[in-house]
Amino acid sequence: MKNLIRLSSPVLLTLVWGGSALAQNMDGCQASVTVQPGDTLGTIAKRELGSSAAYTNIVAATNRNAATDSSFATISNPNVIEPGQKLCVAIGMSPPRVVERTKAPAPPLNSGNTTNITFLQINDVYEMTPVGGQGGVARLATLDKELTARNPNTFSVLSGDLFSPSALGTAKVDGERLAGKQMVAAMNAFDLDFATLGNHEFDIKEEQFLERIKESETQWFVSNAFKKDGTPFDNISQNLIFSVTDNAGQDVTVGMFGVMLDSNPADYVSYTDPFEAAGAHINVLKDNVDILIGVTHLSMAQDMKLAGMYPDIDLIMGGHEHENAIEYVGGTPITKADANARTAYIIDLTYDHGSDSVTIKPTLKQVTADIPDDPVVASVVNFWLEQAFEGFRAQGFEPTKRVTNVTDALDGTEASVRNKTTVLTQIIADSMLSNASGADIALYNGGSIRIDDTIAPGPITEYDVIRILPFGGAIITVDMTGSMLQRTLDQGVKNSGIGSYLHTAGVSGTLGNWSVNGTALDSGGTYTVAINDFLLTGYEQNLEFLKAEGNPDINQKATHDDLRKALITELQKKYGSE
């Protein structure tokens, strides 16, 4: 991590691996407690260990003892404990691991009685290269170097979402999907310093997630997401503290915690309430640091609630929303940059040692061609880009080929495609109906759209189509009974907010009152439906009844093109071909 070796001399940089070191260094069960009605692991940890954040220690100690002592029961879900349950409280713990390094001399970091620290904040970065002329990890690296030349105490921070959803991540190299491997390589080359987890980190399989974290040279931390058994993930801390000393001998200590939302939860992850987790770590950190920062992956409304609940927070660097925003709650700024590093926030903090106060100046920076690529990072990006593109070419796509020029903004954000119809969702449904000759209607799940972004009017390439529908899949025509179609359409509406929300073509109406091509749906009739093959597996949430195998209400008729091929044709039909 470059920023840990370039601060002014003398500098002591201390990273406190909050939680993970504690959980891994227990001296055994020195005391046990019995769960009382109304207890949670957090309240027990607060009562017995002095901090609700220490509940992970109780989980780990209890599970360890459960292996040899039948009086303890394994805790598989930290949110579920029963009155009368016996828990092991680990009160003899080794101190957290500390990393100390002395830095080479650098320009002064202070002005009189103040010390300056700079953060370069990004969030929701799925693309290594510019999108629509903006963004690009190689440009970020140049910007980071420029900021570091101005202030050696510059740190880069990612506020969640890196491993997924990435079109490149779906490309197969040597028979395996990249699954975010390319993003980790790019960020290692960039020297990303700190990151919290976002909800999309858990899109990939458990073994892939653990491997990405292991490959990463970034210090990851999160305060409210853990393994299924409630213990911390390896190489991910729950909070961190670092101190810098300027060449006037003045110390500034910064503490960070990270919290995330639990949308699209994975079965290998357990989550705790982000506000409770934040409060627990704030209580631990606030008396030990000069500056307290939350790095979050929450909605803006949640970030504002967090800032209102805990006025000790000096700054919140947030993610999740894909459009830049800044809000203030009291004196606490909440910053979010645009997705895919189209912008970055440069946040200058000036700590006044006399008044023990901090002044924060956030500046939104456009990441455009005005910032040249860092050649080393660019070479890493280009290597992985070509690896992925070769994988797509093996599937019959030419990623660089221009499809058309769109005149509409194509909204593929999760907030939209899992709740309502957009221009993009309708074009995809229409493409299925056009491709599947003889179909009465088309339907597919909004979760098929993974871009979680909006494509601006202008040229669109085959790679953009892959970004929209990275998993593709064949269009299948089936004969479906009217009663099954009624049930499917009704459930599709009920699935609002999740990936199984359905988009259609040839259908109008609403819950319980549907028409097919202008005629009321006949529950006793039969309809030819164009559907994406994934829905017929029965693996989609709340739509398991669509499993085609052995289903008397569904009869498969024909297999048509890959959904992405159909979308390319429909885009050219609507906007003209190149």
Structure confidence by residue, pLDDT tens digits, 317-348: 999 988 899 999 999 999 999 999 999 999 99
Is the confidence at residue 140, as pLDDT, over 60? yes
**Looking at residue 341, what is its pLDDT?**
96
CA gap 74, 103 in Å, rounded: 46
**Looking at residue 281, what is its pLDDT?**
96
The mean per-residue pLDDT over the stretch 79-102 comes to: 56
* The domains spanning 20-89 and 396-575 adopt the same CATH topology: no
The mean per-residue pLDDT over the stretch 213-219 comes to: 96
Is the confidence at residue 90, as pLDDT, over 60? no
Range of lowest pLDDT (74-83, 157-166, 274-283): 74-83
More confident residue, 11 or 375: 375
**Token digits for 82?**
């029963």
Q: Shortest CA distance to 201 belongs to which of 266, 271, 130?
A: 266
Using H for helix, E for strand and C for coil, what is the string for 118-152? EEEEECCCCCCCCECCECCHHHHHHHHHHHHHHCC
Q: Shortest CA distance to 36 belongs to which of 79, 89, 72, 86?
A: 86
For the chain, the domains span 20-89, 107-223+236-246+253-290+300-312+329-378, 396-575
CA gap 434, 175 in Å, rounded: 33
**Looking at residue 56, what is its pLDDT?**
59
Length of the chain counted residue by residue: 578
**Looking at residue 282, what is its pLDDT?**
96
**Looking at residue 24, what is its pLDDT?**
32
Alpha-carbon Rg for the chain in angstroms: 26
**Token digits for 496?**
């609002």
The mean per-residue pLDDT over the stretch 483-510 comes to: 96
Q: Shortest CA distance to 400 belongs to which of 459, 472, 341?
A: 459
Average pLDDT taken over every residue of the chain: 88
More confident residue, 50 or 172: 172
Out of 3.30.930.10, 2.40.40.20, 3.40.630.10, 3.60.21.10, which CATH number does the structure's domain 107-223+236-246+253-290+300-312+329-378 have? 3.60.21.10
Q: Find tokens 């906007």 and name the residue.
A: 575
Is the confidence at residue 263, as pLDDT, over 90? no
Confidence category of residue 99, pLDDT binned at 50, 70, 90: very low
**Looking at residue 471, what is its pLDDT?**
86
**Looking at residue 23, what is its pLDDT?**
32
**Looking at residue 112, what is its pLDDT?**
67
Burial grade of 456 (CB within 10 A; 0-12, 13-18, 19 or more): middle
**Looking at residue 78, what is its pLDDT?**
62
Identify whether 96 is preceded by a cis peptide bond (ω within 30 of 0).
Answer: no
The mean per-residue pLDDT over the stretch 571-576 comes to: 97
The mean per-residue pLDDT over the stretch 111-116 comes to: 83
Is the confidence at residue 128, as pLDDT, over 70? yes
Range of lowest pLDDT (163-172, 404-413, 523-532): 163-172
- The model's pLDDT over 349-396, given as tens digits with 9 standing for 90+, comes to 999 999 999 999 999 999 999 999 999 999 999 999 999 999 999 989
Q: Report angle CA 105, 106, 110 to the nearest 5 degrees.
A: 120
Range of lowest pLDDT (44-48, 467-471, 519-523): 44-48
CA gap 199, 107 in Å, rounded: 39
**Looking at residue 40, what is its pLDDT?**
78
- Give SS3 for 565: helix
CA gap 366, 309 in Å, rounded: 32
- The model's pLDDT over 402-443, given as tens digits with 9 standing for 90+, comes to 999 999 999 998 889 999 999 999 999 999 999 999 999 999
Which CATH fold topology does 396-575 show? 5'-nucleotidase;  domain 2 (3.90.780)
The mean per-residue pLDDT over the stretch 166-187 comes to: 93
**Looking at residue 323, what is its pLDDT?**
85
Residue 38 backbone dihedrals phi, psi, to 5 degrees: 90, -10
Is the confidence at residue 4, as pLDDT, over 60? no
Confidence category of residue 573, pLDDT binned at 50, 70, 90: very high
CA gap 465, 455 in Å, rounded: 10
Confidence category of residue 288, pLDDT binned at 50, 70, 90: very high
CA gap 101, 92 in Å, rounded: 28
Number of CB atoms found within 10 A of residue 70's CB: 8
Range of lowest pLDDT (21-35, 173-187, 288-302): 21-35
**Looking at residue 16, what is its pLDDT?**
35
Is the confidence at residue 15, as pLDDT, over 60? no
Range of lowest pLDDT (66-75, 188-197, 237-246): 66-75
Q: Shortest CA distance to 186 belongs to which of 374, 450, 391, 464?
A: 374
Is the confidence at residue 6, as pLDDT, over 70? no
**Looking at residue 51, what is its pLDDT?**
53
Percent of the chain with pLDDT over 90: 73
Q: Find tokens 């639990």 and name the residue.
A: 262
Q: Shortest CA distance to 403 belongs to which of 461, 457, 470?
A: 461
**Looking at residue 442, what is its pLDDT?**
98
With contact defined as beta carbons under 8 Å apart, do 412 and 455 qualify?
yes
The mean per-residue pLDDT over the stretch 549-571 comes to: 97
Is the confidence at residue 94, as pLDDT, over 90? no
Residue 414 backbone dihedrals phi, psi, to 5 degrees: -55, -40
Is the confidence at residue 185, as pLDDT, over 70? yes
Is the confidence at residue 101, as pLDDT, over 90? no
CATH 3.40.50 is right for the domain spanning 20-89: no
